[in-house]
Amino acid sequence: MTAAPLPCPPVSSDLAPVNRPTGGKIGQVIRLLEREGGVSLAELMTATGWQAHSVRGALSTLKKRLGRPLQRTVNAGGVAAYRLEAI
């Protein structure tokens, strides 16, 4: 006989942003994203040693955790640059 599944608690959409990490690779990614011109995916991959899908996942997570908009712009050469907007 199997037990009935336990109910899951409701998920709040009003999650407060967490404190900004300052050390490690995530801190380095944040510093690069705060540069005036932003940072390219290739630069983030080189700085962290991560693959492209890992960098994009980190960007998505940071956007949610920091509660700051993430801008993506494409320059004339077709290279995308990512930048965290100031609050």
Q: Count other Cβ atoms within 10 Å, centred on residue 84.
A: 22
pLDDT in tens, 27-74: 999 999 999 889 999 999 999 999 999 999 999 999 999 888 999 999
For the chain, the domain total comes to: 1
Average pLDDT over residues 11-29: 67
φ, ψ for residue 31, nearest 5 deg: -60, -40
pTM assigned to the model: 0.70
β-bridge partners, 84: 70
What are the residue ranges of helices labelled H in the chain? Answer: 24-33, 41-48, 52-66
Q: Is the pLDDT of residue 13 over 60?
A: no
**79 assigned to some structural domain:** yes
CATH code, domain with 37? 1.10.10.10
**15 assigned to some structural domain:** no
Name the residue range of residue 76's domain: 24-84
pLDDT band at 2 (very low <50, low <70, confident <90, very high): low
